[in-house]
Amino acid sequence: MSQEIEDQNRRLLRARDAMDRAYAEPLDVQAVAAIAMASPAHFSRIFRATFGETPHHYLQRRRVERAMFLLRETDRSITDICFDVGFTSLGTFSRTFSAIVGETPSGYRAGHPPIEAPHCFQMAQTRPRLPAGVHPRSSRFGEARDESAA
């Protein structure tokens, strides 16, 4: 049983790594599930059981973290950053960013100078967390709507 869990964990980690690596590409749950060799519904379930949030949440937070990074560290326009990190609509980007971060992309940029820390630590440690008290199953970011539309 342990061996099965370990093999499944490793496949799920490979899929999660793909989200961290290829967030800018048009990834969706189906494509990522294929990396883990699971059906999308089963993948979402076991991913959440293993990592504590759905793959959709994970990818959204990775994209928002990358957007936060580019807002801090570069002078690229917000529209460019939106597409840089894998969003296809400025409206969805702004809404998702604001819901997760608690301020708009331009507000965040104004209040946050660059961080002098190695990139990998920034990427690992500044991916936005779940707000306190929010169950990872809840979807208050409009993500369920996005997911059902996808």
Partner 1 sequence: MITKLNVATIYVLDKNEALDFYVDKLGLEKGNDVRQGTYRWLTVRVPGGETEISLEQPGAPLHDDATAAQIRELITKGAMSGLVFVVDDVRALYEDLRAKGVTDFTQEPTDHFYGTDMGLRDPFGNAIRILQQGKARQPAAAQA
Angle at CA of residue 25, ends 90 and 17, nearest 5°: 120
* 13 interacts with partner 1 by CB under 8 A: yes
Ranges within 63-82 binding partner 1 (CB under 8 A): 70, 73-76
Output 21 or 129, the one with its CB closest to partner 1. Answer: 21
Interacting residues of 124 by C-beta distance below 8 A, sequence separation 6+: none
The CA distance from 147 to 98, in Å, is 18
Whether the CA torsion 132, 136, 140, 141 is positive or negative: it is positive
Q: Within a 10 A sphere around the Cβ of 116, how many other Cβ atoms?
A: 6
Of 15-23, 55-63, 98-106, 137-145, the segment contacting partner 1 by CB under 8 A is 15-23
- The residue written with tokens 């093999």 in the block is 7
**Closest CB 140 distance from partner 1, rounded Å:** 26
Closest to partner 1 by CB, 2 or 88: 2
Burial classification of residue 21, based on how many CB atoms lie within 10 Å of its CB (0-12 exposed, 13-18 middle, 19 or more buried): exposed
The answer to whether residue 61 forms part of the interface with partner 1 (CB under 8 A) is: no
What is the total count of residues that contact partner 1 (CB under 8 A)?
26
Q: Of the candidates 88, 91, 120, 137, which one interacts with partner 1 according to CB under 8 A?
A: 120
Residue with tokens 């997911």: 147
Contact between 126 and partner 1 by CB under 8 A: the answer reads no
Per CB under 8 A, does 84 bind partner 1? yes
DSSP state of 98: H
Q: In the complex, which residues of this chain contact partner 1 (CB under 8 A)?
A: 2, 5-7, 9-10, 12-14, 16-17, 20-21, 24, 50-51, 70, 73-76, 84-85, 118-120
